Structure 1
Amino acid sequence: MKFTSRFALVAALGVAVAAVAPGTPAFAKKKDEAAAPALKIGEAIRKPLAEADTAIKAKNLPAADAALAQAKQLAKTPEEQYVVAQYGLNAAQASGDQARLSTALDELIATGEAANQLNDDARSKYYWFQGQFAYQAKNYAKAEASLSRAIAAGSTEADAYAILADAQSRNGKTTEALATLQKVIDAKAAAGQAAPSEWYGRGADMASRGKLPNQFVKITTAWLTAYPVKQNWHDSLFIYRQMAGLSGDVDLDLLRLSRAAGVLPLSAQSNYIDYALAVYLRFPNEAVDVLNEGIAAGKLNPSTSQNTREIIALSQPKLAPDKASIPAAVTAANGPKATYKSVMTTADLVYGYKDYAKAAELYKVALTKPGADAAQANFRLGLALAQAGDKAGAKAALDQVTTGNYAVLASYAKVWAQTPPTS
């Protein structure tokens, strides 16, 4: 089955271009300006610069361009070239042409660096806008370089890391992009803050497209902790299911977790069928309950779904004897001849009837048997305890699951047990 990505990085990249342009020529020193050293500007270049200034203020761009062209020819030193670039940026801003503004900003940065006139505050602003212009032009290599410089200079722009990560991803550097996002997410978490939900979502999209399951699990569990929305839960679990190619009992347990988290109704009807097919021969009550939930959610229609119709028809007659068998099965599970598999079967049977406390007792018994699959039993124990209301016990059980695909399911289940999904 295929999933359509819902993840997006930034809704808009609007640029307040006025923030880029210097308000006053650097050589026209203000009375209260003492920090920046005076620029050395030759007398020959002052006249065309003054003409350019007058023309820009009058919005006479042809005249401004002519004066700037003359000034550019006269500019011999890095400082003079930098001042011309400042006026060039003001003229580009007045033109309203973003391509021209981008080119002018490039020149301002290059000449400012050459003249040693850019401090970190200026770099953080100029490279930030340069990075945005490059990103909008789909020049992702340039965007990556510029945004990296802006961040290194101390940029506090909220979206700088997110856009940098997206540029890295589009450059084919998925691992680096995820590291960029994870760095800022971790920093915000350490400060008691949550990064925007879109950042986590974009990271999840990068990891899934890059086929990086470990990174996907790390960023999505953090996402679900910060934003426990049902749609986020659905996407995280079912994209992981697809990435990992789950099958057998592990796949069934992911479906059980998705049902416990209340996100099955957001999924495709095939997931209900997959669930029912996995349990109807052993646990007919669980199969019928799941299919009835799918029907109630509008996901299944017995008249058009042959699997739904046939599984219910086959399972319904078994429900009464199945339920009647529980007391004897529980007694046998607690008896001396019980094996790991027989106890687990009984525990799963009871779980399917939603007697989570009794199921938890039996999963604990199963863990004492020779050959016990500790990861599987502890995961199901944690799932049962959480639904029985014992969050601490659920966490303790899930903490014991440390290897394989069950460890991934346990990491999701621990988040769910502590922070149930919201609508």
Structure 2
Amino acid sequence: MTILSKAALAAALLIGTTGVILPATADAQKKKDEKAPKAPALSAEFRKAALEAQTQLKAKNVTAAEPAVIASEAAAKSEDEIYYARLFRLQLESDRLEQAAKGDAAVYRRLEIALIKPLDDLIADAKTDPKDRSRFTYRRGLIEYGQKRYAAAVTFFEKARELGEADPELPLSLTKAKIESGDIVGGAAGMKVAIDAELAAGRKPIESWYDYIIPRLAKADKFDEYLVWSQAKLKQYPTAKNWRTLIVYFGFSGKRVDLLDKGQKIDLFRLMRANNALADLADFAQYAQYLNSIGLPVEAKAVFDEGVKSGKMQLTREDDKGIYAASVAAIKLDGPISARETKAKAAATGVAAAAAGDSYLGESNYAKAVELYKIALEKGVTPVKVEEINTRLGIAYALMRDDANARAAFAKVKSSPRNQIAAFWIVWLDLGATTPTA
């Protein structure tokens, strides 16, 4: 059973916990304050039934309140009386719903259609205060959303916004309704308007606004928009956890698991590492396994060593110990990178120079990596390799904190998904290439 929180239950009370308060009689009001506005004229017949309704509603006595509300509805003749009778009806149905649900959100959603007529009546009532009308309109939208009538919910939410409803959850509610109705782009655009308004007012947008949009853009394969939203979220919430989540959505979940190759995933893992965002054994082990499998044992060993030192993993699994031992053995067998560098510089093509550049990048010798990547590009490699080298040239410059050259290298990466990986690294540069600690 999904339990409604106390906050949710409080929000369910549309009129308020003290019930509807009738105005004093005109004579009483005059004695209290000669300058006060004239009170609504209520007949003695209506006032008698209404006072009983008010008393029972205030006491949360639904059983006793119902006949009194019915009596007030029957006695209501003037516009003011009809308005108050409608308020009583809404309070009664709200209280009845709360009691029937007993804190169960599913039951509440199933039964809340009972609020539709009293809400519609008050929304249409000329006596309804503008603030209440916007609030009731928003509530109608929430009911439509709960009934999965998303297009109708959008209409109510947009009307509530037009009426000036200021509930902080309205932008997210409208976005959800648009997206659930199939309008992902429209939902995202609407949320951006709300975020821009918060920023313009000097306030920090609510994190859940970003969190609703971003995974849905990923699921819809709208990764150009995804990167824009990721950058926007990270500007406000630049934590290591958020970096990891956004990178995982981008390259390690859904269709992207099969779309990206090992080399591309390694460059995303490198971005996670730069942001202190490798979270646990699974992250470190997968990263090291990829590295070892493509001939980068120095970086593989360094990743394992870093994971153990950070306390985020222990080198206890047999598979991991095997990869670690293989990396150590390969480092001894390969010998110093400088020997391979000499051969690479004498080679006819840039393939060997690119490999040496990868090795230097893996041991954090970024200056040498840049040198070898440039040689590789000069000697010539395949178009696909050019995209990879420019990505890694940008990474080497970025990790050297050479912002201008990093951006220039990333700008040369044109094909998908490498251009999107480069864009993710540019986000890091835009944020100042800082390393989050939490």
TM-score bin (small chain):
0.7 to 0.9
Q: Contact conserved, 1:48 with 1:68, CA < 8 A, in 2?
A: yes
**In structure 1, C-alpha distance between the alignment counterparts of 2:202 and 2:60, rounded to whole Å:** 49
Tell me the TM-score normalised to structure 1 length: 0.77
Q: Contact conserved, 1:123 with 1:149, CA < 8 A, in 2?
A: no
2:204 aligned residue (194, 204, 208): 194
**In structure 2, C-alpha distance between the alignment counterparts of 1:410 and 1:261, rounded to whole Å:** 15
- Equivalences for residues 319-338 of structure 1 within 5 A: 319-320=331-332, 322-326=334-338, 329=341, 332-333=344-345, 338=348
1:157 and 2:171 aligned:
no
Which position in structure 2 is the counterpart of 1:282? 295
CA gap of 1:191–1:383, structure 2 versus 1, over 3 A, is farther
Which position in structure 1 is the counterpart of 2:436? 421
1:88 and 2:89 aligned:
yes
CA gap of 1:62–1:212, structure 2 versus 1, over 3 A, is same
After TM superposition, give the deviation of residue 412 of structure 1 in Å.
1.8
Q: Could you list the per-position Cα deviations for residues 241-272 of structure 1 after superposition, in whole angstroms to 9, with x for gaps in the alignment? A: 12323114222222222223322243625x63
Worse overlay, 288-297 or 399-408: 288-297
| Aligned residue identity for 2:289 | A
Worse overlay, 395-404 or 238-247: 395-404
- Equivalences for residues 16-95 of structure 1 within 5 A: 16=11, 20-21=15-16, 24-25=21-22, 32-33=36-37, 45=46, 48-53=49-54, 56=57, 62=63, 64-75=65-76, 80-91=81-92
**In structure 1, C-alpha distance between the alignment counterparts of 2:246 and 2:9, rounded to whole Å:** 30
After TM superposition, give the deviation of residue 351 of structure 1 in Å.
0.9
Q: Contact conserved, 1:52 with 1:68, CA < 8 A, in 2?
A: yes
Q: Contact conserved, 1:27 with 1:41, CA < 8 A, in 2?
A: no
**In structure 2, C-alpha distance between the alignment counterparts of 1:396 and 1:196, rounded to whole Å:** 34
2:133 aligned residue (117, 123, 133): 123
1:316 aligned residue (320, 324, 328): 328
CA gap of 1:412–1:421, structure 2 versus 1, over 3 A, is farther
| Aligned residue identity for 1:376 | E
CA gap of 1:54–1:124, structure 2 versus 1, over 3 A, is same
**In structure 2, C-alpha distance between the alignment counterparts of 1:12 and 1:49, rounded to whole Å:** 29
**In structure 1, C-alpha distance between the alignment counterparts of 2:317 and 2:53, rounded to whole Å:** 78
**In structure 2, C-alpha distance between the alignment counterparts of 1:39 and 1:50, rounded to whole Å:** 15
- Equivalences for residues 12-411 of structure 1 within 5 A: 13=8, 15-16=10-11, 20-21=15-16, 24-25=21-22, 32-33=36-37, 45=46, 48-53=49-54, 56=57, 62=63, 64-75=65-76, 80-91=81-92, 97=98, 106-118=116-128, 120-132=130-142, 141=150, 144-169=154-179, 174-191=184-201, 193-241=203-251, 242-243=253-254, 244=256, 245-266=259-280, 268=282, 272-273=285-286, 275-280=288-293, 282-296=295-309, 297=311, 299=313, 301=315, 304-305=318-319, 308-320=320-332, 322-326=334-338, 329=341, 332-333=344-345, 338-370=348-380, 373-411=385-423
Q: Contact conserved, 1:132 with 1:143, CA < 8 A, in 2?
A: yes
After TM superposition, give the deviation of residue 75 of structure 1 in Å.
4.7
**In structure 1, C-alpha distance between the alignment counterparts of 2:21 and 2:155, rounded to whole Å:** 28
Q: Contact conserved, 2:298 with 2:327, CA < 8 A, in 1?
A: yes
C-alpha RMSD of the superposition: 4.1
Alignment gaps of 5+ in structure 2? 30-34, 102-107
Find the residue that maps to 1:255 and give its secondary structure.
helix
**In structure 2, C-alpha distance between the alignment counterparts of 1:131 and 1:85, rounded to whole Å:** 19
Which position in structure 1 is the counterpart of 2:32? none
After TM superposition, give the deviation of residue 298 of structure 1 in Å.
5.4
Alignment gaps of 5+ in structure 1? 1-9
CA gap of 1:381–1:70, structure 2 versus 1, over 3 A, is same
Aligned residues with identical type, % of pairs: 26
After TM superposition, give the deviation of residue 331 of structure 1 in Å.
7.5
| Aligned residue identity for 1:232 | N
Q: Could you list the per-position Cα deviations for residues 49-94 of structure 1 after superposition, in whole angstroms to 9, with x for gaps in the alignment? A: 4553455567665554323213334556776543310232345567
Tell me the TM-score normalised to structure 2 length: 0.74
After TM superposition, give the deviation of residue 348 of structure 1 in Å.
0.9
**In structure 2, C-alpha distance between the alignment counterparts of 1:14 and 1:267, rounded to whole Å:** 42
**In structure 2, C-alpha distance between the alignment counterparts of 1:11 and 1:399, rounded to whole Å:** 52
Worse overlay, 398-407 or 208-217: 208-217
Q: Could you list the per-position Cα deviations for residues 193-230 of structure 1 after superposition, in whole angstroms to 9, with x for gaps in the alignment? A: 43222322232333344554444333223222221211
Find the residue that maps to 1:97 and give its secondary structure.
helix
**In structure 2, C-alpha distance between the alignment counterparts of 1:348 and 1:401, rounded to whole Å:** 17
